[in-house]
Structure formats: C-alpha cells, structure tokens
Amino acid sequence: MIGLFRPLNNNLQKTELAKVKQIHCSGCVSLRRFGSWPSTLAYPYETDLLNWLIFGFGNLKSNIKHLPCTAMPLIPKTVLTFPKKYQDISGAFSVLVGWATASDHERDENSRLSKFLRKRLDPHLETALATLDITPGTPPDPRLLSELDESKGNTIEGLTSLYRPFVSGLWKSAFLSTGIPALTGERGQSLADNLSDVMLVSDAWIDRQTDHLNGYPNPFSPNATNEADGYLEQKLKELTLLTHGAKEPYGAILRSVFKDGVGARIWKMQNLKGRKLEKSNDAK
C-alpha cells in the first residue's frame, strides 16, 4: 500500500515538517537518478520511511540543495543530498516497491495506469535487485508474488506468513544494504517484520468490502467494525519502541507516523474506498 507510513503533519513543528518535505523530494530525486524520469511517477511513500530511518540512525552528512521538481521541473524543490550508496538503496527500494504495487493493481483491477507504471519500472528491476543483494527468482523478488496461493490469506496469521518473505524480506534487504547497525541484526529483522505485518493487515482491513465483492480471500468480514484495532495498536507500539533513539527531528517524525499517522491514513483510505463503493453501487 502506497502512503500508509506518513506522519500527521498537524503534530509536527515547522522544522520537522520541512524535513518531511525535503526527504520526500530527496527520495524522488534518488529514484530519477537510479531509473528515469517516468519511473518517478511510481514513487512510493514507503521510501520516505526508509530514508527517515537511514537519516535517523545513520551518521550521514548531508547538504541542502535546490533542484527542479521531478514532476514539475519549473518549480525548485529543497532536497537533502546524501552519499551515493544510500541514494542507490533508496532508488532500488523505490523501484521494487513501486513495481510490486503497480503489478498488483494491474493484476487485480486490470488497471491500464498501473500497467503503464509497471512498464516504466521494468528496465530497472534487475539493477534494483542487485543493488539490494537480492537473488533474482527468490523472495523478495516481486515477480514471484503472482505465484502465491492467495487462498491462504483468509486469516491474519495466514496473510502475514504468506507475504512476509516478500514484504518483510524487502525491508530487511534494504536495511542490511545500509550497513547501519541499528537497522541490521535482530532489531532490523523485528523492524522489517512489524512493518510488513502493519502494511498487510491495514491493506486487508481497508479492502475487506471490495475483496468480499470480488471473491478475494480476506481475514476480515465485510461488515467488521474494529477487529483490526488491537492487532495494529500492538504492532505500532512495537515499532515506536524499535525506532526509539533516532536522532531528531527524525525521531519526532517517526513517533508521529506510528502514534497517529498510520491510523489517520487508514481512516482516510477506508472512507475513500467506501465512497467508491457507493458510486459503483449507484451506477448499477
């Protein structure tokens, strides 16, 4: 799911909000340099979280630059420059997450836009796998996702276990590639697993009604009201603890993401899905 891990901007100070915007633009620039301009159309917000973690726990030296916006080149944007190693990790991660998301929507919704985006990322897929030291044809290579038996995802445990080698595996590969101690080892694995579980369960919760209508497996009934709350609350608490110690302002950004941002994003996406369903039913 693109955009789940966002801070609640109302809770951030101006300096913290400025870093959020700078990191977002920096990630987009990293993807453009790693791939191409068209590939930035598939930039995933998950890369922002990766870069907040890199800056929060890595001893990185960065400078501020003003560069043309990748989407609207006439508008200058403020970006943080950081070592090429981390730019490449950021770009590779964006390619793989963007490809997986576009491919999923293309497959499930027959989306022409998603097909267009996926094709923009195709030429960069092998390089992205190599950058994160992922062996092609083994998880978390996103090309294998279409081979999974989705019928096993009808319980929370079944869903998270089925996709964890891919979602958690991709986070872990990115963390290991950084070489940052706080993002590797047992802590890195726990971070990756919890991020994966939150993404998967949140996505299932938001999609429970459309999945039911389309006959897709989902651990939640279409009329469920709060069955995911306790599970997600516990996972987000664990993520808050795991990211404790990140240097500021990235610590404040991460706290905002896990304390308030994810819940606000789920609520917003759920309402959007509900309105789409209503329009679809009205049109019939």
pLDDT at 249: 94
pLDDT at 254: 97
State how beta strands 63-68 and 76-81 pair.
Answer: antiparallel
pLDDT at 273: 66
3-state helix, strand, coil in the chain (%, to 5): 70, 5, 25
**Structural contact between residues 168 and 192, judged by C-beta atoms closer than 8 angstroms:** yes
pLDDT at 160: 97
| Residues 6 or more apart whose Cβ sits within 8 Å of residue 55 | 23, 62, 80, 82, 247, 250
Distances (CA, A) of 183 to 50, 114, 243: 10, 31, 9
Mean pLDDT by 10 residues, the chain (284 residues): 82 93 93 88 94 93 84 83 93 96 87 92 96 98 95 95 97 98 95 97 92 92 88 96 95 95 88 60 50
The distance from CA 72 to its chain's CA centroid, rounded to whole angstroms, is: 23
**What does the block give as tokens for 170?**
């991709």
> Using alpha carbons only, what angle is made at residue 280 by residues 279 and 284, rounded to the nearest 5 degrees?
115
Phi-psi region for residue 185, left (φ > 0), alpha (ψ -120 to 50) or beta?
left
pLDDT at 109: 82
pLDDT at 66: 87
Distances (CA, A) of 98 to 182, 238, 261: 25, 26, 21
Residue 81 forms beta bridges with which residues?
Answer: 63
pLDDT at 2: 58
Read off the DSSP letter of residue 138. Answer: S
59 burial via Cβ count (<10 Å: 0-12, 13-18, 19+): exposed
In the chain, what's the furthest Cα-to-Cα distance? 57
Q: How many CB atoms lie within 10 A of CB 36?
A: 13
**What does the block give as tokens for 96?**
């793989």
Q: Which residue has the tokens 């039913």?
A: 281
Entry field: residues in the chain: 284
d(CA 253, CA 17): 8
Residue 66 forms beta bridges with which residues?
Answer: 78
> Using alpha carbons only, what angle is made at residue 282 by residues 277 and 283, rounded to the nearest 5 degrees?
100
